[in-house]
Amino acid sequence: MISNAGPHAPTSMSKLTKVVLVILIAAAALRLFLTLNLPIQLLANAGHDDGLFMRLAINLASGRWLGGFNQFTLMKGPGYPVFLAITGLSGLPVSATHALFQIAAIAVSAWAVYRLTGSRTISALTFIILLFYPVGFMPETLRVLRDQIYWPQTLLVFSLFTLLLFTPPGGRFTAILVAGLAGSITGWAWLTREEGIWFVPGLSLLVLVAILINRKEKSELLALARNLAVAAIGFIAVNAAYMTGNLFAYGSFVGVDFKEQNFKSALEALEDVDAGPVVPYVPVPGAARAAVAEVSPTFAPLSVELAPNGSLSGWTGAGCRIYSHTCGDYAGGWFMWALRDAAADSNFYQSPKTASQNFGKIANEIAAACADGRLRCRHRWMIYMPRMTGQQWASLPRALFAVVESTIFLSPPNPNEMRPSSALTGEFERYWEFLNFPHITRSEQRSDDIVVRGWFRDSESSEWPAFKAYAEDGQEIPSSTTRVRSADIQRRFSDSEADYNRFEISFRCPNRCTITAPTSHHPELRIAVVENRSLSVSSGSATLYVDSAAGAPAPAKPSQTLAAHMRVMLVQIYKLLMPLLLLAGLIAAVIAVWRAVGARTLDAVLLTALAAWVFVGTRIALLTLIEVSSFPAAIYKYSGPANYMAVVAAILSIASLRGKSPSA
């Protein structure tokens, strides 16, 4: 006998259901409050991560596709820049769009659990536990990073395919719509991070289970085949749209060039060269690069750039700070970025086609030298995984434990440890404005400087004041004033001319200082900058408003203080809850499997739980291999998908024990 999913939702809601729904909506509002009042770190100068995503997003929102082509343009997928572009156009701060998308993904997951189990209680618990799991708003994850949307994407991919395969909507059109959405979001997730292959085992198990459950029903199998075909079309359409955009913008029908075949072949060929001693966490040591330079004319100029005293030697510092024995060479995951920069200096990135051809030449020249004996080469079983020493292999259990520890939230970091945002620059202000001024961490700056930020507006005059700063004794202090774009002021006052009415005044304040904003009509506008708080003064039609004076941390608002305290409390709760929940889930899964095997029963809830555990295990395996071979991966911004999928897996495993499965 085959047991399928739980009953569908009733047509009318009971009074208790309405009460629970109100509670869940209130919980979602509280989660939104938390996110809006916890500061994010805005790193405008992180050119390979945060800054890259924001720059690409501005290009997308401006209709310039991804901007001019260089080594950064197609380096990482456009999934997150698209999200940021929509954020910028929405008028909502990025912290709000992050939270709303996360809440939506959690709601879909809870709905999938309800459709499978038929239990409102289990579904509501799933929603609440996922909603307040602090992994999503720990300090290390609160950045303008793609990881903010990747774990919700993972939940959506799993949940939508679960709905599609086990409890599909009754109408054909609705089922096709869900299938298209499942495929499209999978395609979007595929373009958000580059390691999307880890989805395949878990999704494959879901599909296999659905086929087994419906194997005797021809009509169900045909519907299943139709839905999967629609999902595949959605996946392909998203990726094809991206590649078509690149065709129009850059002349090549290509995707993310980090995964481009010739680049992968060149990187793999370099890592295959066996020259000099094997250095842990150094994929292509200097001896190997020197050997390749002798046989590869295309790589030779790159090797000069990558030399210990070359122009790109700054890349060696990142790994040196973590693996001291690598100092002076390119460690782990940083070599590939240094290689791309060296290629850019040698004009590889004139176009995607030119870059591919040149990397292809490097791969072919190395292959030829390996074949005729000029180079000694070896072959590895996994792309991007460099040769490892026995010492690294011996550390595999330690790496596995570290990843598992982060996955079960056993030793969370200090929830109050916030790092500053980038220094205040024009680029920083541009990104901050584009993201609709989210609450951010204090910016880096010289400790003896103060930066006053605010806005000025005169409703009857376009005259801009001559800002000045004065010390307590009345002496003028040398200062620097910059006008900043002010779309928010335009919107607030419906004034199209108020496009540059924000300002920054930088000066060195010896004690208690004052800023003035005199104009010919209003010479007395003056504010004493005595505390880091919002202040304003008006005179007639003119208003001078100070948002903050950054030189010391601004005093937190009561809502921000409350949010910080709530995060600390949630960290303490989940530090105890998650290990217990996941252990109970694993035990429940073992018992349920034992019982199902004895009864020869296929149970959709149990098998879906096992597929969720496969998602968790695959992610843990991937991060463990990265941890032991390339760079630290046992951190929450990478483990997030496993953290949240583990909750779903544990809850479904426990739910599968309800009642005794019927025997065959």
Instruction: Give per-residue pLDDT as tens, 518-561.
Output: 888 888 788 887 555 678 888 888 899 888 777 644 557 889 98
Task: Considering only residues 216 and 283, tell me which one the structure prediction assigns the higher pLDDT.
Answer: 283
- State yes or no: pLDDT of 171 exceeds 70: yes
pLDDT digits (tens, 9 = 90+) for 313-336: 889 988 898 898 999 999 988 999
Phi-psi region of 373 (alpha: psi -120 to 50; beta: other; left: phi over 0): left
Based on DSSP, count helices (H) and strands (E) in the chain, helices before strands.
Answer: 22, 11
Question: Could you tell me if 333 and 631 are in contact, meaning their C-beta atoms sit under 8 angstroms apart?
Answer: yes
pLDDT-above-90 percentage for the chain: 67
Instruction: Report which of 459, 451, 456, 502 is spatially closest to residue 480, judged by C-alpha positions.
Output: 451
Give the pLDDT of residue 1.
36
pLDDT in tens, 338-357: 999 999 999 999 999 999 99
Domains of the chain with bracketed CATH: 19-252+558-655 (no CATH), 257-407 (no CATH), 446-550 (2.60.40.10)
* Mean per-residue pLDDT, 48-59: 96
CA of residue 113 relative to chain centroid, distance = 25
Residue 125 pLDDT > 70: yes
DSSP state of 424: -
CA–CA separation, 618 and 630 (whole Å)? 18
Q: What pLDDT is recorded for position 552?
A: 45
Backbone angles phi, psi at 527, to 5 degrees: -135, 130
Instruction: Tell me the residue type at 54.
Output: M
Is pLDDT at 662 greater than 70 in this prediction?
no
Supply the pLDDT for residue 531. 57
| Average pLDDT along the chain | 90
d(CA 38, CA 567): 9
CB 629 within 8 A of CB 621: no
> Is 4's pLDDT higher than 60?
no
Is 263 exposed, middle or buried (CB count within 10 Å of its CB: 0-12, 13-18, 19+)? Answer: buried
Give the pLDDT band (50/70/90) at residue 2: very low
pLDDT at 297: 97
**Average pLDDT of the segment spanning 378-402:** 85
In the chain, the percentage of residues whose pLDDT exceeds 70 is 93
Mean pLDDT for 458-468 is 90
